[in-house]
Each structure stands twice: as structure tokens, then as C-alpha cells.
Structure 1
Amino acid sequence: MILDKFKAYGWMLVAVALAALLAVQSVRLANAERDHAVAVGVFNASAARAEREARQLSEAYRTLENQNREQIAKIGAETSAAIAAADAGARRARAAHDSMQRDLADYIATHRRAAQARAAAGQCTPDTAALDLLADLQRRADTRAGELAAIADAARSRGTGCERAYDAGDALNEAGTPETP
């Protein structure tokens, strides 16, 4: 009987020990779940903050990119206007060249008529070779100078536009990472 009582107490003691272990494990599980919930909350908060900062940074870069694009478009428009102005200047120069060539041709024709009139009057034989040579040299030099001036004006306008676009891009690169609010 005593043995039966010891067995009964033994089983009760084992049951109490198991109940205590179960209670300890339950507390540990509850603590672990609480710690997990806290960690998930911290992670979610960090992820939300990182996402918000990434979105703000993306918007800041998008704003910089749009500003740069607008600046490049403005530079392109100004360069096109400068090239158009250079082309207009080249057209005016060609018109002046053509007018001067007509005036020179009129002068040469007048000079030849006068020289032929003197020759017909018996005064001297007309020698227009030097005049023709000078007129041809002047015409060719003026034509080439006009061509070179037009090329130089267009190249200068394009070069200036390219420099400005490069400077705008370089300024964007030097600005570095935009500030996030």
C-alpha cells in the first residue's frame, strides 16, 4: 500500500512537473511570439521608412532629371535660334555678295565700254586682262570668305550649345545626391 501511495504521489509529482514544464514552455512561447511581433513591427516600420525615403529620393531625382531635360530643351531651342540667326546672316552676306558682284560686273562692263570707245577713237588698245584677273580673284575670295564665315558661325553656335548642355549635365552630376525631406 505504501508502495501504491508512493506510485500515486510519484505520478502526481510527474504530472505536476509536466504541468510546470508546460506552463514554462507556454510562457516561453508567449514571450517568443511577443518578441516576434515586436521584431515584425520594427521590420515593417523600417521597411516603410526605407520605402518612403526611396520614393522621396526617386521623386527628387525625377525632379532633377526634369529640370535637366527642360534646361537641355531650352539650350537646344536657343542653339537652333542662334543657328537660324547665323543662317540669316549668311543669307544677308550672300545677298550683299551678289549685289557687290553685280556692281563689279557693271563697273567692269562700263570700264570695257570706255576702253573700247577709247580704242575706237584711236587712243589706246584696251587691256582688260588685269581687271578681269582682279575681278575674278575678288569674286572667288569673297565667295570663299562667305562660305567659311557661314561654316564658322554655324560651328560656333553648335559648339556653344554643346558646351552649355555639357555644363548643365556637369552641374547636375556635381549636385550629387538630392536632399530628401
Structure 2
Amino acid sequence: MLTTLRANAWKYTAIALALGLGFAVVKQTLRLAEAQLEAANTDATLQTERASADRSALATSERYRKLGDTHRDEIAQTDTAAQAAIAAADAGRARAVAARNRLQRDLADYLTQHRAAAQARAAAGQCAPDAAPADLLADMLRRADDRAGELAHVADTARARGLACERAYDSARTMIEAAQNGKAE
């Protein structure tokens, strides 16, 4: 029996090797199947996360677009209101210039009448008043009125521009805060 065993030892060794190799092949096949299943799960998770990230990016982009559109509309409204206020200031300036011109014509007519009366009194031998103070007063009134009109127009337009700037700043600040808080208006 020992002889038979020795004679067939290579067969038993071959069988043992075949069984060991078969076991190793089965074990590797199971590992491969497990790795493929894990890869498929990982791929599915990745696809889900990508889809979620794409939806989130699209929602964020849409929110920022809406915020930008709202801000752009508010700026356009602010600009329109500012232009209307500046036009009103220009119209006020035109009315003030017209009133100043009427006042200067009335003053010139008064001075002309005053001089004519003074010359008539002088021709009649009466004491003639000096016209220089009236001329000085008229010139000072004209210059003061001109300067007041200029300053009023500057103040009116500066106020309109300042209010427009303030509204634009408030709109931008609101947009930034909404973007930071994750709210779209």
C-alpha cells in the first residue's frame, strides 16, 4: 500500500493542487463579483450625487438670476425716478428764471420811471434824488437772485441724485443679503 501510494503520489498531489486551485478560483470569482457589486453601488451613488448637485446648482443659478433681474429692475426704476426728479428741477429752474426776468423787467421799468420823475423834478427846479443807490440796489438784487437760482438748482439736482444713489445702494444691499440668506425675492 505504501508502494501504491508512492506510485500514485503525483496523482494525489495533482488532485490536491487542482482542488486548491479550484478553491482559489472560486474565492477570486466571489471577490470579483463582490468588487463589481461595490463598483456598481458606488457608480449609482455617484450618479445620484451628481444629479443632486446639478439640481442644486440649477436652483442656485435660477435664484441668483432672479435676484439680478429684480436688482436690475429696481435700478431702472430708480434711474427713471431720478431722471424725472432732475427734469422737475430743470423745469423749476426755468420757472425761476422766467420769474427773475419778469422781476428784472419790472425793476428796470421802475428805475426808468424813477429817473424820468427825477429829471422832471430837476427840470422844474426841485431837488433831484440821487439814482446811484437805486441802481446799486437793483444790481445787487439781480446778482443775488441769479446766485440763489443757481444754488437752488444745484441743491435740487444733488438731492435727486443722492436719493437715487441711496435707493440703488439699498437695492444692492437687499440683493446681497438675500443671496447670502439663500432667499430669492
Long gaps (5+) in structure 1:
none
Task: Verify the 8 A CA contact 1:93 1:146 in the aligned structure 2.
Answer: yes
- Residue number among 37, 52, 55 corresponding to 2:55 in the alignment: 52
Question: Is 1:178 equivalent to 2:182 in the alignment?
Answer: yes
Task: Verify the 8 A CA contact 1:57 1:179 in the aligned structure 2.
Answer: no
For the residues of structure 2 that align with 1:23 and 1:15, how far apart are their CA atoms? 12
For residue 112 of structure 2, give the secondary structure of its aligned residue in structure 1: helix
Q: TM-score, normalised by structure 2?
A: 0.94
- Residue number among 17, 25, 28 corresponding to 1:25 in the alignment: 28
Query: What number of residue pairs does the alignment pair up?
Result: 180
Identify the residue that residue 98 of structure 1 maps to in structure 2. Answer: 101
Q: Deviations over 1:50-103 (max 9, x none)?
A: 111011011001100110011011101100110011011011101111111111
Show structure 1 runs of 4+ deviating over 6 A: none
Question: Is 1:136 equivalent to 2:106 in the alignment?
Answer: no
Identify the residue that residue 125 of structure 2 maps to in structure 1. Answer: 122
Question: Cα RMSD between the aligned structures?
Answer: 1.2
For residue 94 of structure 1, give the secondary structure of its aligned residue in structure 2: helix
For the residues of structure 2 that align with 1:71 and 1:116, how far apart are their CA atoms? 66
Give the C-alpha shift of residue 179 in structure 1: 4.0
Tell me the percent identity: 48
For the residues of structure 1 that align with 2:168 and 2:177, how far apart are their CA atoms? 14
In structure 2, give the amino acid aligned to 1:28: R
Moved more, 2-11 or 71-80: 2-11
Task: Verify the 8 A CA contact 1:87 1:150 in the aligned structure 2.
Answer: yes
- Residue number among 160, 163, 167 corresponding to 1:160 in the alignment: 163
Q: TM-score, normalised by structure 1?
A: 0.96
